[in-house]
Structure 1
Amino acid sequence: MIVARNPEDIKDIIAGSCVTIGNFDGVHKGHQKLISLACARAEARGLVSVVVTFDPHPLRVLRDDRNPPFITLTQQKLELISQYGPQVCLLLHFTMDMAKLSPEEFVQKYLLDTLNMKEMIIGYDYHLGKGRAGNFETLSALGQKKGFTVDRLDPVSVDGAVVSSTRIRDLVQAGQVWSVRPLLGRFYQVRGEVVHGMNRGGRLLGFPTANLKLVDELFPKPGVYAIWVEVDDDVYQGVANIGKNPTFDNDALSVEAHLLDFKGDLYGREIQAHFVQRIRDEKKFSGIDELKERIGKDIELGRQILAQPDAAIKLTRPDLGNARTQK
């Protein structure tokens, strides 16, 4: 997938395109179906398949500090979008000037002049342009005038409810990570560089942990979780604690992952933690001995959870398609 951040870089080089456009936060099952449909339509008509999305997320510009934590940051979003086959992703820098464009102005400037769009496919609730005036009806009318067709994808439902970024966000924040997988098609993950923590895990407790330098915005509810951990091209079982380590009276949120059966140095390396199932709430223990006993039980529960067939990990990063699983 070609990622173009400057529309001028691809202007006049695409003879015709089928475009889908959106924020795609989470790249969930609804987004996946939308992107796949655009790719199929493009192939059938001999067009270039294009995904148009934004950085920063429009809410970050329009609502400033009143926006929710996002499910996927830009790099992960691009990695996920690429899995569903589009040839080009146009990543537009969203600004207040862009927000002031009417639907017709936006379509002409970014989709017709740049992408030579012949077909547009949008989600059931998508709007674009100033005042969200560009809905399915107005875009269809514009297409009749400008020479492109517009199609709209019906909502995608799982367990009787529409898949949405809001629903996924609420489940993650409630700690219901197992229920998120059917909506995403994968386990929810966070990633980060392993940095030095308080040096308590291995030295004091006998369970060394990888402390993540947090870059993501959305985290599961504090507690202990069974996780898969990606390290380069390998995958390990693990148990993670999210929270403030109340036994040690910490104040800052941390994510600490204990990799089962791992030996080696992780400092300075980026890892990904995939959250499979919540084991328990975070708890303040009476002392080190009680905490060590509880961690041992958490690890055993984690092994049991991750051994279940339904807990198998599906890798999504392009460079990890042939990863080896370490158990």
Structure 2
Amino acid sequence: MIVAHTLQDLAHSIAGSCVTIGNFDGVHKGHQKLIEMACVRAKARGLVSVVVTFDPHPLRVLRADKTPPFITLTEQKIELISQYGPQVCLLLKFDMDMARLSPEEFVMKYLVDGLNMKELVIGYDYHLGKGRAGDFETLSQLGEKHGFTVDRLDPVSIDNAIVSSTRIRDLVQAGKVWPVRPLLGRFYQIKGEVVHGMNRGGKLLGFPTANLKLVDELFPKPGVYAIWVEVEGEPYMGVANIGKNPTFGNDALSVEAHLLDFSGDLYGTDIRVHFVQRIRDEKKFNGIDELKERIRTDVELGRQILSQPDAAIKLTRPYLGSGPDAG
């Protein structure tokens, strides 16, 4: 997949395209079907499949003081988008100048003139342009005027409810990470560099932990979780504590992951933590011995959970190319 940040990066190299556009926060099952639909339509018509998305998320510009924590940071969003087959991802910088464009101005500048768009695929509730005026009907009228067709994907529902970024966010923040998997098609994950913590895990408790430098925005509810920890593409069973370590009187949020059946130095390494199931609330213990005994129980529960067939993890990391033959 070619990743471009401006139309100039593509150097007018696209003779005709099928485009889907959106914020794609989480790249959930609804987003995946939208991207796959655009790819199928592009292939059927001999067009280039293009995903257009934005950085920062438009809400960060339009409502900076009221934005929710986003499910995926930009790097992960692009990585996930690439897994569903588009040939090009155009990652546009969103600013107030772009926000002021009418639907027709945006469509003509970026999609028709910029990408030679012949077909547009949008989600059931997508709007673009100033005041969100560019709905399906408006875009269809623009298509008749400027020579492109518009397709709309119906809502994707799982467990009798529409898949949405808001639904996923609410579940994660409530600690309900297991029900998130079918909505994302994967476990919810965060990524971070392993940094030095308080040096209590191994030395004091006998359970060494990897302490993450937190860069993600969305974290599960404080507590203990069964997790998979991805180290250089290899998964390891683990148990994570999210919270403030009340037994030790901390006041800063931390994520500490204990890897089962792993030995090695992880300092300075980027790892991914995939949240599988919540084990318990975070709590304050009466002393070190009580805490150590509870950790032993958590580790055993984590191993039991992760040993179940439906808790298995499959890792895929696509190559993100940048040249004309990437795809």
Q: Give TM-score scaled by structure 1 length.
A: 0.97
Matched residue type, 1:287: G
Tell me which residue corresponds to 2:323: none
Q: Deviations over 1:63-106 (max 9, x none)?
A: 01210000000000000000000000000000001000000000
User: Can you give the 5+ residue segments of structure 1 that lack an aligned partner in the other structure?
Assistant: 320-327
Query: How far apart, CA to CA, are the structure 2 residues paired with 1:159 and 1:211?
Result: 35
* Alpha-carbon distance, 1:285 to partner: 0.1
Q: Is 1:248 the counterpart of 2:211 in the alignment?
A: no
Query: How far apart, CA to CA, are the structure 2 residues paired with 1:184 and 1:79?
Result: 14
Q: Deviations over 1:182-233 (max 9, x none)?
A: 0000000000000000000000000000000000000000000000000002
Identity between Structure 1 and Structure 2 (%):
83
Tell me which residue corresponds to 2:112: 112
Secondary structure (helix, strand or coil) at the match of 2:203 reads helix
Tell me which residue corresponds to 1:203: 203
Query: What is the RMSD of the two structures over their aligned residues, measured on CA atoms?
Result: 0.9
* Alpha-carbon distance, 1:52 to partner: 0.1
Tell me which residue corresponds to 2:46: 46
Query: How far apart, CA to CA, are the structure 2 residues paired with 1:150 and 1:233?
Result: 39
Aligned residues: 320
Query: How far apart, CA to CA, are the structure 2 residues paired with 1:184 and 1:166?
Result: 12
Q: Deviations over 1:217-261 (max 9, x none)?
A: 000000000000000021100000000000000010000000001
Conserved in 2, the CA contact under 8 Å of 1:80 and 1:316? no
Conserved in 2, the CA contact under 8 Å of 1:225 and 1:275? yes
Query: How far apart, CA to CA, are the structure 2 residues paired with 1:11 and 1:143?
Result: 24
Query: How far apart, CA to CA, are the structure 1 residues paired with 2:59 and 2:268?
Result: 32
Secondary structure (helix, strand or coil) at the match of 1:84 reads coil
Matched residue type, 1:308: Q
Query: How far apart, CA to CA, are the structure 1 residues paired with 2:250 and 2:10?
Result: 50
Query: How far apart, CA to CA, are the structure 2 residues paired with 1:316 and 1:30?
Result: 19
Secondary structure (helix, strand or coil) at the match of 1:80 reads helix
Query: How far apart, CA to CA, are the structure 2 residues paired with 1:160 and 1:124?
Result: 17
Query: How far apart, CA to CA, are the structure 2 residues paired with 1:233 and 1:273?
Result: 12
Tell me which residue corresponds to 1:94: 94
Matched residue type, 1:40: V
Tell me which residue corresponds to 2:219: 219
Q: Which range moved further: 152-161 or 2-11?
A: 2-11
Tell me which residue corresponds to 1:322: none
Secondary structure (helix, strand or coil) at the match of 1:294 reads helix
Query: How far apart, CA to CA, are the structure 2 residues paired with 1:57 and 1:27?
Result: 13
1:90/1:150 Cα in 2 relative to 1: closer, same or farther (>3 Å)? Answer: same
Matched residue type, 1:185: G
1:31/1:229 Cα in 2 relative to 1: closer, same or farther (>3 Å)? Answer: same
Tell me which residue corresponds to 1:9: 9
Q: Is 1:25 the counterpart of 2:25 in the alignment?
A: yes
Q: Counterparts in 2 of 1:183-202, with a 5 A limit?
A: 183-202=183-202
Conserved in 2, the CA contact under 8 Å of 1:228 and 1:237? yes
Secondary structure (helix, strand or coil) at the match of 1:313 reads coil
Query: How far apart, CA to CA, are the structure 2 residues paired with 1:54 and 1:139?
Result: 19
Q: Counterparts in 2 of 1:113-132, with a 5 A limit?
A: 113-132=113-132
Secondary structure (helix, strand or coil) at the match of 1:271 reads strand
Q: Deviations over 1:1-60 (max 9, x none)?
A: 000001112142100000000000000000000000000000010000000000000000
User: Can you give the 5+ residue segments of structure 2 that lack an aligned partner in the other structure?
Assistant: 320-327
Secondary structure (helix, strand or coil) at the match of 2:282 reads coil
Tell me which residue corresponds to 1:57: 57
Q: Which range moved further: 210-219 or 307-316?
A: 307-316
Tell me which residue corresponds to 1:77: 77
Secondary structure (helix, strand or coil) at the match of 2:276 reads strand
* Alpha-carbon distance, 1:316 to partner: 3.5
Tell me which residue corresponds to 2:148: 148
Secondary structure (helix, strand or coil) at the match of 2:202 reads helix
Conserved in 2, the CA contact under 8 Å of 1:11 and 1:115? no
Query: How far apart, CA to CA, are the structure 2 residues paired with 1:318 and 1:12?
Result: 26
Query: How far apart, CA to CA, are the structure 2 residues paired with 1:294 and 1:221?
Result: 19
Tell me which residue corresponds to 1:293: 293
Query: How far apart, CA to CA, are the structure 2 residues paired with 1:128 and 1:41?
Result: 21
Matched residue type, 1:295: I
Matched residue type, 2:301: L
Q: Give TM-score scaled by structure 2 length.
A: 0.97
Q: Is 1:280 the counterpart of 2:280 in the alignment?
A: yes
1:99/1:109 Cα in 2 relative to 1: closer, same or farther (>3 Å)? Answer: same
Secondary structure (helix, strand or coil) at the match of 2:115 reads coil
Query: How far apart, CA to CA, are the structure 2 residues paired with 1:26 and 1:6?
Result: 23
Conserved in 1, the CA contact under 8 Å of 2:226 and 2:239? yes
Tell me which residue corresponds to 1:35: 35
Tell me which residue corresponds to 2:157: 157
Secondary structure (helix, strand or coil) at the match of 2:84 reads coil
Conserved in 2, the CA contact under 8 Å of 1:121 and 1:151? yes
